[in-house]
Amino acid sequence: MPKEEEKKLAPIEDGGLASTLEKKVGITANLLFDKRKNMLDTIGTRPYKGLPVKEEELLSRFSQIWRDPQALTEILKQNAIFKKDGRVLISKALLKKMKEMTQKLRKGGM
């Protein structure tokens, strides 16, 4: 094939494997950014550089989430891993913290 004809040919866009993977990466990235934004809106900003958050502030946030069944369901859905066999896995650390906060709410009556 002469070099003149090579320059005239447009790149082939047949939707091959590379373009499919690029689309999947783009979609996944957008989903992750949306999920992170929703979590930040629900929970609030996280402290940076290891700065502690006051226990009263955490308890106040959790109290608001705890009183709203839809918000609590959304938090659980966002942090759940659904297995093919129907099992739902949730982080033990999340459950432990939720249990601690619930006990504090019951004692404090917030």
Instruction: Note the pLDDT tens digit of each residue in 20-36.
Output: 888 899 999 999 999 98
Confidence (pTM): 0.47
Can you tell me the distance from the alpha carbon of 61 to that of 57, in angstroms, rounded to the nearest whole number?
Answer: 6
Can you tell me the distance from the alpha carbon of 58 to that of 102, in angstroms, rounded to the nearest whole number?
Answer: 12
Structure tokens at 85: 């066999």
Q: How far is CA 86 from CA 81, 82, 83, 89, 94, in A?
A: 10, 7, 5, 10, 20
Region 37-41: what's the mean pLDDT? 79
User: Quick check: 22 and 13 in contact, CB under 8 A?
Assistant: no
Region 48-54: what's the mean pLDDT? 62
pLDDT digits (tens, 9 = 90+) for 57-96: 888 888 898 889 998 898 888 889 999 999 999 989 888 9
Confidence of residue 2 (pLDDT cuts 50, 70, 90): low
pLDDT of residue 77: 87
For the chain, the structural domain boundaries read 15-44, 53-110
